Amino acid sequence: MRVHVDQEKCQGHNRCYALAPELFDVDDYGTAHELNGGQVPPELEGKARLAVSNCPEYAITIDEDS
Amino acid sequence: MSHPPVTDWETDFDHTDVAYAADPFPIWDELRAKCPIAHSDRYGGVWLPTTHEDVAAIAYDTDHFTSQSVIVTEGRPMAPAPIGIAPPISSDPPFHHDARRLLLPAFSPKAIAALEPFTRAYCHELLDAVEGQTELDAAEDYAQHIPVRVIAKMLGFPAGDADQFREFVTNTIESVDLPVEKRIENFGRLEAYLRDQVEDHIAHPRDDLTSFLLDARLDGALLDEGHVGGTIALLLLAGIDTTWSAIGASIWHLARTPTDRERLANEPELMPFAIEELLRAYAPVTMARLVKDDFEFNGCPMKKDEWVLLPFPSANRDPAFFADAGRVELDRTENRHAAFGLGIHRCVGSNLARMELQVALEVFLERIPVFELASGDPAAVRWSGGQVRGPRTLPLRVG
């Protein structure tokens, strides 16, 4: 599984960083980006889905097959 | 100046009506199901979308709607677009982007985390002062003080001026039905206070947000005086009654819902989800826009210079967007709530507000694990009206 943050859509709500700091970080402007090239280890897949379903801007996508 | 009471919410609503302040949820639910965009001729024309879809669409549409003024009043803005009276909340693209970018680092999650120990110690101090009492007012004795103290520290203003800040909030944000002349006079008092603080910071620069803004540059030039003053006014005022409302409404919910209160006290790992759910269910802030030019939105003939309210709390209760929208579920795991707005004007202080709310609830539950509303009479709890809704008196019985 991989996650990706669309930085054009991200408005800095920081929900993903709060819920899954292992997978996301934020810069000084609050804009989020994925860590480790977006790779999600199997034990963090639940957290990745949680981040997606709490992003008010629909900025995070999951690719289940990579 | 008070307005006649509302008898028809679809065609003559007023967001400052006492019924709307006391309990707006059934009003929004009915409009959302039947209308769903209400209109009123009050305030020179104002629209009220109620679904998540419509509120989001307008929040994202900066081509047809301007943020030049975001508080619905009888008058119209005195400060021109795209900067507006209190940048960046009152600014439009492209100016908005850079004005906002100046502020973001001071409010990033990591910058805000550094303020947590101070906030926690202050919350304890407030409860020390009511230690041993069997009754307390959670709005007056506790919630209202927290954001005021923290923003005063961030701006480098005297903590002893807190009462004045609350007066400024009442005058600018909560007294919107006053005549324009009276509002201008109130703004004058705020401006005079801020001018003194700015002069003091020019004479004695220090490591705070006010000195930062006085030194900040856009396109290589210092910000003009109006921009600095407007931004300081925004930072001072926008975080006070909003966060006060969120803390108060959350305590109100826990006071009348013992199962949730006990659960939150016993399962601290629930706190991050509970905070978001309380923000969804009791989002304090309704924003506003002005229609730029005549424009038809979803069949509504919107006229230039009419207001459009953006009731984020109504969007947050839309059953088309949230499962069991009307129920408070502290462990809700899918929660794309819009309490801090949507799009480019996402609340710049959201990380600060969230930190204050979480710390305030943690300390309250730690110190006062058992509490309930002091009175069964709903009128004992007074809610602020207008665009920021929260309890202004919240008498509790403790222990």
Residue among A15, A30, A56 whose CB faces B342 most closely: A56
Domain annotation covers residue B10: no
The tens digit of pLDDT for each residue in B356-387 reads: 999 999 999 999 999 999 999 999 999 998 99
Mutate to test the interface with B, among A6, A13, A49 (most CBs of B within 10 A): A13
Q: Residue B163: pLDDT above 80?
A: yes
Residues B216-246 have pLDDT tens digits of 999 999 998 889 999 999 998 888 999 999 9
For B225, residues 6+ apart whose C-beta sits below 8 A from its C-beta are: none
Contacts of A41 (CB under 8 A, 6+ apart): none
Per-residue pLDDT, averaged over B280-296, amounts to 97
Which residues are registered as beta bridge partners of B373?
B396
| pLDDT(B328) > 60 | yes
Q: In which domain, by residue range, is A53 found?
A: 2-63
Q: Across residues B341-354, what is the average pLDDT? A: 97
Q: What CATH number did the domain enclosing A15 receive? A: 3.30.70.20
For position B146, which CATH number holds?
Answer: 1.10.630.10
Number of domains in chain A: 1
| Average pLDDT estimate for B278-294 | 97
Q: Count of A–B CB contacts within 8 Å?
A: 53
- What whole-number percentage of chain B has pLDDT above 90? 83
| Contact between A29 and B108 using a beta-carbon 8 Å cutoff | yes
B167 Cα to chain A: minimum distance (Å): 30
d(CA B93, CA A43): 42
pLDDT, mean of residues A12-38: 97
Judged by a CB distance cut-off of 8 A, whether residue B272 touches chain A is: yes
How many distinct structural domains can be found in chain B? Answer: 1
- State the sign of the Cα–Cα–Cα–Cα dihedral B61, B64, B69, B73: negative
* Contact at CB, A54 and B335, closer than 8 angstroms: yes
Asked, for residue B195, whether it belongs to a domain, the answer is: yes
For residue B328, which of B392, B284, B275 has the smallest C-alpha distance? Answer: B275
Are A53 and B343 within 8 A, CB to CB?
A: no
Question: Chain A contacts of B270, Cβ < 8 Å?
Answer: none
The shortest CB-CB distance from A11 to any of B101, B334, B346 is to B346
Q: Which of A18, A50, A56 sits opposite B333 (nearest CB)?
A: A50
> What domain range includes position B192?
18-398
- Is B6 inside any structural domain? no
Q: Which residue of B has its CA nearest to A21?
A: B109
Alpha carbon of A28: minimum distance to chain B alpha carbons (Å): 5
ipTM of the complex: 0.97
This prediction has a pTM of: 0.96
Alpha-carbon gap, residue B369 to B269, rounded angstroms: 16
